[in-house]
Structure 1
Amino acid sequence: MQELYDLLDAAGMGNGWNKPEPSLYPSPKKTFVPAHWSYALAKPALDAAGRFVSTELAERRNLILFNPIPGNTYATARTLVAAYQMVMPGETARSHRHSPNALRLVMDTAPGAYTIVQGRKVPMVPGDVLLTPNWSWHGHANESEACAYWIDFLDVPLVHFLEPMFFEHYPGGLEEASVVDEASPMRFPFAEVRARLESQPESRPGQRELTLGPPSIDTMALTVSRLEAGRSLASPRTTASSIFAVIQGRGRSLVDDKELVWSRGDVFVVPSWCSHAYQPEETTYVLRVSDEPLMRSLHWLREG
């Protein structure tokens, strides 16, 4: 039998009856782990990077939130990545476009910070969510006197896996834009989202939810939740992977058996098929970015 295995190896074939590990299994494997990243640590780290790393030197001055599993240096979850980013006063981040979809949650800015999407300035106000769908030209400009901080979310790991990656710089650097488009369809102002949440019925006691869109992104679902203090809010396991960012508030989450303590600006990940329970300590607003649309389109979305 070993002689047969040797011949198969030499021919680039593997036997299907004696695999090193099963290719099919009765429930999802949990490769990615629950993890948490602190905005209170990231913000001074970005400030320090600002003294050494210019936007001319780097495509983006950002901190990638990689899941702490062996061999991983990029993805936050299987299909998604998150990163903290900062642009200093008077700086620009040159325009580019790429296959991955992207969005950002604005954390701390002053009036005069913009994302430029398809030639229009979209204001960056704390709590806002801004979209840059795939192959849209986008860059950043900070005309204020304060640093601008936000959290990026992209489906780059999915594009890496499937391999349809394309990327281009905008000719000449930053795309010119003179029109400030406060009503851009690519912007979900937090003031409006919060007001709409107040009028939403509870999805369960202590939680109101609002799905952002249209427009929407084919691979990522965006949901903002309002959580009441003192509640324990458990969610069923799902095959979707989710990254959470705290817009306002503080509390903790129990993800499987790992406790994550979070506050404003923090990011945490609930990988596929992990249980999750919120325990907000004050009224909290949190953004959830998940790959639910992808799972649903492939008929792989399942709860348990």
Structure 2
Amino acid sequence: MSQAEHAEVDFDSAQDLPALHALLEHVQMKNGWAKPTPSLYPQPKQTFVPAHWRYRDARAALHAAGRLVGTEWAERRNLIMANPIPGNDYATVRTLVGAYQMIKGYESARSHRHTPNAMRVVLEGAPNMYTIVDGVKIPMLAGDILLTPNGCYHGHLSESDQEGYWIDFLDAPLVQHLNPMFFEVHPDELEKSHRVDAHSPMRFAYADYRPRLLESAEIASGVRSLELGPPSLVTFDRVVLHLFAGTQWQCVRTTANRIFTVVEGKGVTRVAGREFHWAAGDMFAVPGWNEYRIEASDDALLLRVSDEPLLRMLDWYRVDGTAW
């Protein structure tokens, strides 16, 4: 037992608040009337900032890393899009991380599983390039969106001479905060697989969802939207958006944190005084409680990933200007 647990503190001896505050330290308590930082506040704090990353930079860096970083010692050859705020070296937005990843031709990345849910969107794939999920080879072609629910073993394999590039999304920052993190490498290094399933429920093929998106109803002038599923992940969603060239889409503040990937097209996003000019393969982040405007200079297809499902489940999702 520590000395603090045995000590008797004479609180009646305190003649003023500073003295009382000092005595509270002896019993490991904090006062609730003069907190240095409020625990409740009238609206969400905006500690994470809007940010933009260019695929051309990520691709060049990963291509160089292909010479310098071997998959035999690195868990993944990837680049983390850490939000550029002091003290942060991982999360892209508060609950989610986005990372560019690459494998070389005829290379594999070992199979593992973990608590976080994961998803990836393929930027450059090829025939005979696969994600292996629980022993099944799932093709990775450009524009495909692949799910890896938590607890599923997954690895990557190229049986092609081409390099593969994609973006991973994980709810790992959320898991790190709550702390139920587990991670395990497959005993066979790369999980054995002899079956290819192009129609796996874990795969949303670009060739399938793009026509569906273009046939969907408009949610705003010049904007079509399609949520991909089932299956789904509990903590984050995947919504594909199509914007006609010349569209200007104004989006109100919500509590959801959002990360966008540009699958096709060019445009600009204006948020919090910043202006992001984006092209295919780029990623940009819009943390919660930010109003933003997306303008498409060409026909554009965007993937939007957000923690909205989690916030709705907890009854924490709110749109600015709506009733509590």
TM-score (norm 2): 0.93
What CA distance in whole angstroms lies between the structure 2 residues aligned with 1:73 and 1:12? 31
Offset at residue 196 of structure 1 (A): 0.2
- Partner residue in 1 for 2:317: 301
Q: Which amino acid aligns with 1:231?
A: T
Partner of 2:185: 169
* Shift in Å, 1:256: 2.2
Partner AA of 1:84 in structure 2: Y
1:104 paired with 2:110, answer no
Deviation of the 1:10 alpha carbon: 2.1
Match of 1:74 among 68, 90, 97: 90
- Picking from 39, 47, 53, the partner of 1:37 is 53
Q: Distance in 1 between matches of 2:125 and 2:260?
A: 20
Q: Which residue in 2 is equivalent to 1:186?
A: 202
Distance (Å, rounded) in 2 between the aligned partners of 1:254 and 1:281: 13
Q: Which range moves more in the overlay, 133-142 or 195-204?
A: 195-204
Q: Specify which of 126, 130, 143 is matched with residue 142 of structure 2.
A: 126
> For residues 257 and 95 of structure 1, what CA distance do their matches in structure 2 show?
42
Give the distance between the partners of 1:10 and 1:280, measured in 2 at CA.
Answer: 60
Q: Distance in 1 between matches of 2:135 and 2:38?
A: 51
What residue in structure 2 maps to residue 234 of structure 1?
250
State the distance in 1 between where 2:161 and 2:28 align: 61
- 3-state DSSP of counterpart to 1:32: coil
Within a 5 Å distance, the mapping from 1:227-266 to structure 2 comes to 227-266=243-282
Q: What is the match of residue 284 of structure 1?
A: 300
Cα deviation for residue 290 of structure 1 reads 0.1
Question: Structure 2: 5+ residue runs without aligned partners?
Answer: 1-16
Letter in 2 for 1:133: P
Deviation at 1:11, TM superposition (A): 1.4
Match 1:152 to one of 153, 168, 174: 168
SS in 2 for 1:30: coil
Superposed counterparts of 1:47-86, under 5 Å:
47-86=63-102
Aligned to 2:283: 267
Q: Report how far residue 22 of structure 1 moved.
A: 1.3
Q: Secondary structure at the match of 2:46?
A: coil
For the residues of structure 2 that align with 1:255 and 1:301, how far apart are their CA atoms?
20
**Counterpart Cα distance in 2 of 1:42 and 1:205:** 33
Cα drift, residue 206 of structure 1: 0.5
CA distance in 2, matches of 1:99, 1:154: 10
Q: Does 1:221 align with 2:221?
A: no
Letter in 2 for 1:156: A
1:231 to partner: Cα distance: 1.4
Quick one: which amino acid aligns to residue 65 of structure 1? M
Look up the match of 2:30: 14
Q: Distance in 1 between matches of 2:44 and 2:60?
A: 38
SS in structure 1 of the partner of residue 69 of structure 2: coil
Shift of 1:188: 0.2
Give the Cα separation in 2 of the matches to 1:40 and 1:92: 23
How many residues of Structure 1 are paired with residues of Structure 2 in the alignment? 304
Letter in 2 for 1:257: G
In the aligned structure 2, how far is the partner of 1:10 from the partner of 1:250?
Answer: 60
Query: How far 1:266 moved relative to its partner?
Result: 0.2
CA distance in 1, matches of 2:318, 2:237: 15
Any idea what the Cα deviations from partners look like across 1:40-95, whole Å, max 9, x if unmatched?
00001001111010100100000000000000000000000000000001110000
Relative to the length of structure 1, the TM-score reads 0.99
User: Alpha carbon RMSD of aligned pairs, Å?
Assistant: 0.6
Secondary structure of 2:218's counterpart equals coil
TM-aligned CA deviation for residue 258 of structure 1: 1.1
Q: Distance in 1 between matches of 2:47 and 2:55?
A: 25
